[in-house]
């Protein structure tokens, strides 16, 4: 029985395919890396091509051996920025197949404790971004950018597609280099290597100035509390919010 490092495409189906390969070949993984990860490893590398049918067998089997709730936890935990995420999820999935639903009730398991905390942070960030995302109107599209710690676009997609169903949306994730595209209740997430939102037009800038004017007008100097403001609106979100952006020159269309 050899120990290997699995390289895969970085998708959840790809990860489940690695779990399948580990069972079939009796190879306990020492490490998981993506295909485009330049990191080196001392272990024998095993490239794994994503196989949807194999991933589905692991996914369905996990739900039968444990519960739909535990399976959903593993799927959502894959969206987190949990350090050593793949190895932690692999160990929990193995425990799930070996011990059944007991694994999710074991509060003494350090892996389960880490996943629980990571999921709390994921849901907090998702909840914040539902209110902190700002879109700008650019050439008929509502365009925005976020820079999250966790991969929250799959969670935000349905929310914004339903909330702004009459609009065409583009929301770019700077951290994970992917973008949400939505129109008429349909949405998809695609990898995007480079993204430039473009300069705002005069109408968009006018709306931004109105919002800043409102913000400044209602402020009461004697009651300004930066600490309290940071609690309700953490500073790490502000650099991609239109009301905190410096005014930029009006975009000009090129002449023929």
pLDDT tens string, the chain, 256 residues long: the values are 578 999 999 999 999 999 999 999 999 999 999 998 888 888 899 999 999 999 999 999 999 999 999 999 999 999 999 999 999 999 999 999 999 988 887 878 999 999 999 999 999 999 999 999 999 888 889 999 999 999 999 999 999 999 998 899 999 999 999 999 999 889 999 999 888 887 777 877 887 788 778 777 877 878 877 787 777 778 888 888 877 776 654 443 333 3
> So what's the pLDDT on residue 254?
35
* Of 99, 57, 62, nearest in space to 77 by CA: 62
- Look up the pTM and report it: 0.85
Query: Which residues fall within 8 angstroms of residue 156, CB to CB, at 6 or more apart?
Result: 126, 129, 130, 133, 171, 180
3-state secondary structure of 225: coil
Contact 149, 107 (CB under 8 A): no
> So what's the pLDDT on residue 46?
92
Query: Which residues fall within 8 angstroms of residue 223, CB to CB, at 6 or more apart?
Result: none
> So what's the pLDDT on residue 30?
93
Pairing of strands 136-138, 44-47: unpaired
DSSP 8-state secondary structure symbol assigned to residue 210:
H
In the chain, beta strands by DSSP E: 4-8, 29-34, 44-47, 136-138, 141-146, 168-173, 178-183, 186-191
DSSP 8-state secondary structure symbol assigned to residue 11:
S
3-state secondary structure of 166: coil
CB atoms within 10 A of CB 251: 14
CA distance 131 to 30: 40
> So what's the pLDDT on residue 205?
82
């Amino acid at each position: 029985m050899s120990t290997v490092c699995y390289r895969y495409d970085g998708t959840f189906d790809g990860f489940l395919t690695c779990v399948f390969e580990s069972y079939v070949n009796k190879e306990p993984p020492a490490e998981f890396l993506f295909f485009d990860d330049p990191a080196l490893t001392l272990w024998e590398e095993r490239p794994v091509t994503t196989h949807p049918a194999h991933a589905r067998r692991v996914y369905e089997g996990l739900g039968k051996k444990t519960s739909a709730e535990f399976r959903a936890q593993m799927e959502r935990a894959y969206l987190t920025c949990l350090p050593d995420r793949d190895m932690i999820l692999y160990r929990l999935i193995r425990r799930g197949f070996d011990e059944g639903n007991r694994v999710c009730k074991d509060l003494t398991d350090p892996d389960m404790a880490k996943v629980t905390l990571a999921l709390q942070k994921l849901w907090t960030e998702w909840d914040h971004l539902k209110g902190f995302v700002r879109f700008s109107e650019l050439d008929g599209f509502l365009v925005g950018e976020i820079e999250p710690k966790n991969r929250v676009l799959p969670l935000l997609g349905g929310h914004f597609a339903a909330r702004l169903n009459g609009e065409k949306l583009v929301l770019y994730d700077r951290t994970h280099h992917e973008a949400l595209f939505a129109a008429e209740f349909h949405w998809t997430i695609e990898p995007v290597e480079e993204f430039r939102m473009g300069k705002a037009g005069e109408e968009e800038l006018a709306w931004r100035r109105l919002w800043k004017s409102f913000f400044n007008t209602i402020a009461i100097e004697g009651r300004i509390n930066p600490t309290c403001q940071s609690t309700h609106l953490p500073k790490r979100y502000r650099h991609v919010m239109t009301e905190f952006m410096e005014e930029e020159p009006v975009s000009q269309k090129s002449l023929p």
